[in-house]
Amino acid sequence: MSYFKTAVLLAGLTALFMGVGYLIGGAGGAVVALVIAAATNMFAYWNSDRMVLSMHGAHEVDERSAPDLVRLVAELAGRAQLPMPKVYLMDNPQPNAFATGRDPQHAAVAVTTGLMQSLNREELAGVIAHELAHIKNHDTLIMTITATIAGAISMIAQFGMFFGGNRENGPGIIGSLAMMILAPLSATIVQMAISRTREYSADNMGARICGQPMWLASALVKIDNAAHQIPNMDAERSPATAHMFIINPLSGQGMDNLFSTHPSTENRVHELQRLAGELGPRGGLATAPANASSNSREPWGRQRGPWG
């Protein structure tokens, strides 16, 4: 059902974009809007991961510079039957994380130093598993597409206001002003709705990958509490990337609404508690691939303590 909702919302976003183009330039404007959408998405498809990582000052780490983190990512990627993604670290005191990349073969997971210092190994496993779920679900590409189309809608709406729109069938000055305000607002609402849908799905799959839903639930509570107290200045400078993080780095609203990039943490924890009840004491532990060691099938229950 979440994929169906996402497809419907993406279709609505594309229709909105072409509708704005039509109001500006008639049928020709709709075609131009479609061409712009294709061009921006093509650029984002090839370059979005590098752009986002650069915006947040992320640097790649390996087994020499961050051995425990890289090994944990590798183990969870094996459980999820995914290629090993690149691993990045952001020098940022706010605990948070995101995944990016156009497909599982070109993916990256980025975590902050604050996350490493705030969570124990089990909680960190829950967060990494959530990000791997985004990669497995191809959410990183979906969210890139929604962000670029939403940005293009804002750009073309402002363009229409400047030139007065389609003079034969256009909305006129008042209609153009309304379009400039309502079109980007509508695009933002759709973008946020897609983001919230994908977060619930990634929570569910991530909990199954790591094997224990409550590890992720505990991590979400810690990250959400910290997000209220510790600013993320890189995210403040690039708010369009806020929807990519596991918890909104800009704000921590207590309820779902049209303008929140994420579901409320309370609702997410409730869903994870329900899933934990369904899966039972072993948490529906994911099956490791055939070439994994026998130890990789066991949870990390004896490996506690903060990181950093």
Residue 130 annotated as binding site:
yes
* Alpha carbon distance, N-terminus to C-terminus of the chain: 39
- DSSP result, 152-203: HHHHHHHHHHHHTS-TTTS-HHHHHHHHHHHHHHHHHHHHHHHHHHHHHHHH
- State the Cα–Cα distance between residues 278 and 308, nearest whole angstrom: 34
Question: How far is C-alpha 255 from the chain's CA centre?
Answer: 19
- Give 293's Cβ-side CA count (13 Å radius): 6
Could you tell me if 200 and 2 are in contact, meaning their C-beta atoms sit under 8 angstroms apart? yes
Question: CB under 8 Å to 230, separation ≥6 — which residues?
Answer: 93, 94, 95, 114
Indicate if 131 belongs to the active site.
Answer: yes
Query: What Å distances lie between residue 282 and 173, 210, 271, CA to CA?
Result: 63, 11, 17
H/E segment holding residue 7: helix 2-55
Active-site option among 75, 122, 123, 131: 131
- State the Cα–Cα distance between residues 56 and 219, nearest whole angstrom: 21
Residue 199 annotated as binding site:
yes
Query: What Å distances lie between residue 223 and 96, 108, 149, CA to CA?
Result: 7, 20, 29
**Where is the binding site for Zn(2+), in residues?**
130, 134, 199
**Where is the binding site, in residues?**
130, 134, 199
For the annotated catalytic residues, the residue numbers are 131
